[in-house]
Each structure stands twice: as C-alpha cells, then as structure tokens.
Amino acid sequence: MTGRQLIADTENTWCPGCGNFSIQHTLKNVLADIEKEGQSLDNVVLVSGIGCHAKIADYLNINSFYSLHGRTIPVATGLKLANPDLTVICCSGDGDCYAEGLDHLLFAAKRNIDITVLVHNNRVYGLTTGQYTPTSPRGFKGKSTPLGTREDPFNPLELMLASGATYVARGYSKKMDLLRNLIREGIGHKGFAFIDILQICATFFPVADYYSSHVYDLAGHDRTDFPAACVKAREWDYNSDAPIALGTFYQKVSPVFEAKPAARKLSVAERGQAIRDLLEKKT
Amino acid sequence: MNDISVLVGGKAGDGINSAGAMVAQLLNHLGYRIYLYFDYPSLIRGGHNFAIIRGRETAPGTCGLRVDFVLALDQETVGKHKDAWKADTALIFNKDLVKSTGQGISIKEILAAEHAPDIMGNSAIIGGFAKAAGIAWKTVEAVFSSHIPKGTDQNLRVAKRAYDMVETVHPLVPCDNPPVPLLTGNEAIGLGMVNGGLEAYISYPMTPSSGLLHFLAEEQEKLGITVVHPENEIAVILMALGFASAGTKAAVGTSGGGFCLMTEGLSLAGMAELPVVILMSQRTGPSTGLPTYSGQSDLLFVQHAGQGEFPRFIVAPGTAEEALYWSEVAMHIAWEFQVPAFILSDKTLSENTYSADLSRVPKTRPAEYPLWDKTVPYRRYADTPSGISPLAFTGTGGAVVKVNSYAHDENGITTEDAGIVAKMTEKRLRKAEGLLQAMNRYPQVNISGNPAGMVALLCWGSTAGVCQEVAGPLGLRVVRPVVLSPFPAEPLRKALEGAGMVIAVEENATAQLAALTGQHGILCQKKILRYDGRPFTPDLLRDRIREVLS
C-alpha cells in the first residue's frame, strides 16, 4: 500500500499543547521519508504501551499493536523474532517503560534486539492525572506524593549505557528537526536503539521554558567513545540544574539478537520425519 | 498378567532418573508397557531421589505400592522404602556404600578394573539388575547401544562385570508387544505442539514445566522451531503474542507462580484475539509450595484467570498418548478460534515417563481458519456470524493490522462507544458457542472401568491411570472429562447416566472439579482428596474408596 494518509481520521484527545503532537508529526515525517526511499510501510509496525503516548497507535495509519502498560518491548521482540523483515518501533511512556516495564527495557538493551524504542518522557503520569514517575525530579508534588517525592529520579541514559544499548540518544519534542534525524538514525541502526524524548506535558508538568533554555546540541561529541558518552549522560541527572545535551550519545556495532539458530521453517514432510527420528531415539 | 516394579534409589546427582530410564528401556525391549515415577526433592546434590519403574503387558499409568526389585545406590534406598518390599523382593546394591541383604556389588572395584569414570557406576547397577531379572545379554547390548551413544563399549564392559556377578532371582517373561517410544508427558506435549504447527516456544524455567523448555531447546534445529528464554513470564507471554500477531504459531509453558505473572498477557490474548497455547503444569501450592511435587489445585485458577470475560480452551490429558493428541488439538483450536488454549498438566504427567504407542493416538484434522480475502480496508476484528475474524498478519502486504488491548471497533481502533463495546463483546463470546459445538468432534469425556457401574469415580488429568486400575476389579465406572473448557456438561451428564453415586477423586484439598460440575448441576456425593504432593497409589485409593462405600 503506497501513498497512504498517515494521520488517521480518528478523533484526537491529547490536550492542546501536548508534546505528543510534535512526536506524532515527526514520526509521520520519518515514515513518509522511509516510504519515499522505497520501503513499504506494510513492513513497519508501531507497538505502544498504555498512557497518553500510546494513543499514537490509534492516530497513525500503520500496523500497530496497542499493548499493555510497560509491555511494548516484549511484544516488539516477538514481532521482530517472528519476522526479521519488520521495522519495529516502540512508542513508550516514562511510567510505562521506566517503571512498569523497566526489566524489559534493560533486557532489550542487553540482548541488542533490533528494534527502536522512543520514550515519550514527560516525567509525569498524565492519563492517570498527575503522579510522579521514575524521572520526576526529587520533591515532585503529585497526587500520590502531595508532600513531594523523597527519592531521586533515574537517569535513563545512564541505565541504557550500563545495560549495553548500542544506540543511545536524547531528543526534545520542541526540536522536531533534530528528533527527526534521531528517529531516522535509530531505525537505521542495526541493533537496539533507544531515544529518550523530553516531552512537554501541558497539563501536569509544563517545563518547556526550562528545557528550551537549557538544551544544547551534542555537535562534535564522539559517539563511539563510551567513557565520553557516560560523562555526557551524567551532565544532567534529570534532577539538578544543568545543561541538557540533545543528540546521539553513543553508538556501537554489535551482533544483534536473532532467532538463532535461524529457524528454517520445515515442510510438513520434513517435520514429520524429524518427529519420527526423535521417537525412534526414544524407543 | 506380567506386571513388575523396580525401585532405583540414590542421592541427588547420582543420575537416578537416567538409571530409571535405562531400566525402563530394558523392560520396553521385553515388550512391557511402562510407567516411570520419579521422586526428587528440590535440591541439586545430596538428598534422596528415587524412581519406580513399572512394566506391565498393558499400559499401567500408575505405580503399585510393592516392588519386585530394589536397586540401591545409597543406604536410604534400603532404609526408606521397606514398606514397598515383598517377601521375595530382590535387592541389588552398591556394597561400597550400602549394607543390606541381597546381592551386593562393588561398583568401585568394577570401575577400577575397567578404568571407568564414576559416572559409569549406574551401568554396573543396571547390569546387575538385568541379570537378576534374567534379561538376555544381547538385549542389554541393544539397549545400551541405542541409549548410551557415548562410551557405549566401556559402559557395556562395566555392566557385564556386574551382570556376571549376580544370580538371576526373578526371570522376567517377555510380553508380546513391540517396543514403543518412552516419553515424559512434557516431551509428548512438545511433540504434539510441533505436530500442531508450533514454530516458536517461549518459556522461563519453572518446575515441572522446564522439561518441555529443555526438550524443545535441545531439538530446536531438528524441529525447525525458535526457542526463547526471556527475562520473566510477563515477557514470555507478551513475546508469544508478538509472534502470533506476525502469524507465527507460538506456545509458552510455566507452572502456577509463573502463570500468575502471565495473567495480564492472557487477558490481552482474550481481548486482542491472539492465539497462544499455554502449558500450565501444576505443582503443590499455594505460592512456592512443593516445587518438585504434584497437585491439581489450579483448575479453577486457570478457568478464571485474567480480568474480563473471554473464551478459552482447557484440556487436561491423562497420559503421554493423550498429551500427544490433545497438544496438537490445542494448537489447532487456538488458531481456529483465535483464543488462548491451555494444556493443563501436573508434575505427575509432565515428568513421569510413559509408553507412547502411536497406533493408539488418533489423527487430528488440520486446523482451518479464514484468512483475509484482500478486501480493503483490512479489519482485524471484522464482525462475522461466527465471531471469528479473517486473519492478516503484521507485515502482510496491503493490510493495516491494528491489534488492540483496549475495547476497540472492527478496525482495531480504541472506542468507548457503548453500542460498539457491547457488540464486540458479543462477537468474542460467539466464538465460545462455536467452540462448544466444535468440541462435539472430539472425545471430550473418557469413560473406563465398568461403563455400567453404579458407582462412578469422577477424576481429571494424571489420576486417569490410578482410577482406571482401581476401578476395574471393584466394578466401578471411571468418568474423566478431558476437555474442561468449554465445559462438556452434556457429554458428562450422559457418561454419568445411571450412576447412583459419584465420587470425586482429586489431588487438591477442595475438590475443584466437583465444584465445576456442581455449577452445571452435576453433583458428587463423595470426595476422595489427596493434597500432600504425592500422587494417589492404587492401594491408597482402593482403601479410601472402601471407606467411602462402607
């Protein structure tokens, strides 16, 4: 199917000013680019979790698997192992991916499965109306923590570098051109690509002014230098006041996790023979 | 009828399971049908393990209480199982470690004489057994050659020394059967799944399901399947659903604790209408319970697991032959109806070894399900009279496939519209009606013993063998629903027609099958329950039946 209308007719229920709009449109542009380059979008699948971000599954007219909270990655892994020709993109939230589904994120990085994970990191639970997430700053006053949180946030970039991710980047929903490049790179990367996207939540965590005044482009950074990537990743800890680098922190070529030994589908006759051989061994 | 039992015991790490398997193969090659019970505590080394191998002219399906031979590799084998001895039980033991009456052999001396490693010690005890049982040396040679491919000759020399030291005590009479494959329930389940088109098996290790993971992982190249062991059971079932949405036939396996973690994924399979086959092999619960012992206490859990209402298929095979057949059927049902399909096993079925006479396994008909006819746009959840939507898979050219865990419309787009929600709920539940109808093609309820018996034992799963053995001489009827969802109420009612008393026999503390039949107006007057992790033995069950009937 070519030349499809990528934005679906579905009614959109994101809040006005929500950072998800720019992520959606960036992704739409990336998909259009991919199609222009001759790849069929029939082989692209979007896996989403549950949360505001996840509505993107309904809003983009491509294959999608609207999964469970925190469970984008195992579904995406199954899809990719089943059909290595698929381009598998996960849209996940910060509560989704860093809380409920953190184990899957770490393991996907560890095994270097060839999927691309976009974390819509608005640093707050939006759809459940305003609780702290693993990346909310210390002292965050949400509905479940009215006195302020008493724990520090995760630094997802550090987590990913420690877990073996082979592509680690950070984007920002108000820098759409950069984000477009990062997503393109992530999809093109052979292996596990992770992009943390700082996203504005207009209703519960509207920090656009802070981000806009602190972000800078990682131009000149050597993305193959792991120690340098760690230093850059630690510059801002999602908590203290510091410059916020955007771009690709780290990239490395590494063997990808495949269904190995590459399972060759057997004919019914071959399969029958294999079973008979096994039964003979058991007799 | 020829009917003999052999107990092999030793410390964990002594390879008791493999020694038991060799004894079973010797009997297999004498034409005996086999049941091998393996008992081991949850530890790696030390502790007492034992296997009881029973051989009979017709398939036994359970162990007796008494044994004809004891093969002792540790002192506990002699000390712990005295109640299993008969007046003429023959003992073969390793006299380096064990003090006993009977025939002792020094494994240490035999190994030294053959310069053989410790691991070959079991071959000595098996050689000793073969002679005590009057098994011809050429049978021993044939069985060693096909089942010990590494170091066959040295193992045979070790066995021969013991063979020559021991006197024949109980010469076995060969039976008039050809040897057949000996399979654990888990292996039979795996082969049934592969016969049913399995392409990917995903599992996190948990006793007593792990045997299936190990078997399929070992044979994956030969069978052309993908085997994945991910981070936890949540990932297991979600990965399987990812596989299914790409059109790959996947199955998962676990036990109760792991299945607890799978329930959100199970409910997703129900809502998103994704086929998945689930081996749920029960052990003694609740919680960690007894990891290496059996139980039947998860029937109602499996029946009700997962939020919301959706159809599911549950089958509880009673033997390896049934496991072969029904696991294949489960694969077909999952794909025909786009539902989760359970194979409900337990430690007894999963880990014990059975003769699998393939001539007794019925042929299944291939799965038939509608594929997308290329009408655009593809609607993943198209409403049809049967409730079954034609399938297109993620990656199918021309189709936009939208799978959704939310309430959704026919296109797979999230909706909160009351009318659509009700309509789609009814669509999913219509599949349950079709499933119930389709079940009429299958032998859902098994009847054995005396079909006209006024007293009926009602059982399910791995207690099939013991109930059948006890019921025969007592003139009782045995009725066993093999399919447990959709519940075969009508066939079950028919099977119980004329029975004045129904006795539920279950390995749980609350009689879960009786509770289930009660919901359909089928009442059990008496209950015989065992819940200490050990399977019923014929002697125990016979005593309990007599108590109930007196």
The 10s digit of each residue's pLDDT in B389-415 is 999 999 999 999 999 999 999 999 999
* Residues on chain B touching A87 (C-beta within 8 angstroms): none
Q: How far is B523 from chain A (nearest CA, A)?
A: 40
Q: Which pLDDT score, from 0 to 100, does residue A217 have? A: 97
Bridge partners (DSSP) of residue B315 are B343, B483
pLDDT range class, residue A260, cuts 50, 70, 90: low
Residues 403-462 of B with CB under 8 A from A: 403-406, 408, 412-414
Q: Which pLDDT score, from 0 to 100, does residue B43 have? A: 78
| Crossing angle of the two packed helices A176-188 and A19-36, in degrees rounded to 10 | 50
Chain A interface mutation, best of B402, B411, B416, highest count of A Cβ atoms under 10 Å: B402
Q: Of A64, A75, A80, which has the smallest distance from its Cβ to B238's Cβ? A: A75
Q: Which pLDDT score, from 0 to 100, does residue A1 have? A: 60
* Residues on chain A touching B398 (C-beta within 8 angstroms): 1, 42
pLDDT range class, residue A2, cuts 50, 70, 90: low
Q: What is the mean pLDDT of chain B?
A: 96
Region for residue B398 given its phi and psi (left: phi exceeds 0; alpha: psi -120 to 50; beta: otherwise)? left
Q: How far is A109 from chain B (nearest CA, A)?
A: 12
Between CA A187 and CA A195 the distance in angstroms is 10
Two structure tokens written together for A35:
């199609």
Q: Which pLDDT score, from 0 to 100, does residue B33 have? A: 97
Q: Taking Cα atoms as reference points, which of A103, A91, A232, A220 lies closest to residue A161?
A: A232
b/e string for A159-178 if b means 16 or more Cβ within 10 A?
Answer: bbbebbbbbbbbbbbbbeeb
Contact criterion met (CB < 8 Å) for B238 and A71: yes
Q: Which residue of B has its CA nearest to A68?
A: B405
Rounded mean pLDDT of B246-275? 98
Rounded mean pLDDT of B120-127? 95
Q: Which pLDDT score, from 0 to 100, does residue B12 have? A: 86
Contact with chain B for residue A33, Cβ under 8 A: no
For B282, list phi and psi in degrees, rounded to 5.
Answer: -80, 145
b/e string for A97-118 if b means 16 or more Cβ within 10 A?
Answer: bbbbbbbbbbbbbebbbbbbbb
pTM comes to: 0.97
In chain B, % of residues over pLDDT 70? 100
Q: Map tokens 């979600």 to a residue.
A: B238
* Residues on chain B touching A281 (C-beta within 8 angstroms): 146
Check whether A45 has a pLDDT greater than 80.
yes
Contact with chain B for residue A270, Cβ under 8 A: yes
Check whether A262 has a pLDDT greater than 70.
no
Rounded mean pLDDT of B213-217? 98
Chain B interface mutation, best of A46, A68, A86, A276, highest count of B Cβ atoms under 10 Å: A68
Q: Map tokens 């170091």 to a residue.
A: B151
Is-contact B273 B339, C-beta < 8 A? Answer: yes
Q: Taking Cα atoms as reference points, which of B348, B332, B51, B62 lies closest to residue B185?
A: B348
**Concatenated DSSP letters for B384-425?**
-TTSPPPB--TT-TT---EEESS-B-TTS-B---HHHHHHHH
Rounded mean pLDDT of B50-79? 93
Rounded mean pLDDT of B510-539? 97
| Crossing angle of the two packed helices B464-474 and B538-549, in degrees rounded to 10 | 50
Contact criterion met (CB < 8 Å) for B191 and A107: no
Contact with chain B for residue A147, Cβ under 8 A: no
For B145, list phi and psi in degrees, rounded to 5.
Answer: -65, -40
pLDDT range class, residue B57, cuts 50, 70, 90: very high
Contact with chain A for residue B177, Cβ under 8 A: no
Rounded mean pLDDT of A152-166? 98
Residue type (1 letter), B420: I
Q: Which pLDDT score, from 0 to 100, does residue B46 have? A: 74
Region for residue B244 given its phi and psi (left: phi exceeds 0; alpha: psi -120 to 50; beta: otherwise)? alpha
In chain B, % of residues over pLDDT 90? 94
Rounded mean pLDDT of B29-58? 91
pLDDT range class, residue B376, cuts 50, 70, 90: confident
B121 SS3 class: helix
B39 SS3 class: strand
Count CB neighbours of B229 within 10 A: 14
Contact with chain A for residue B216, Cβ under 8 A: no
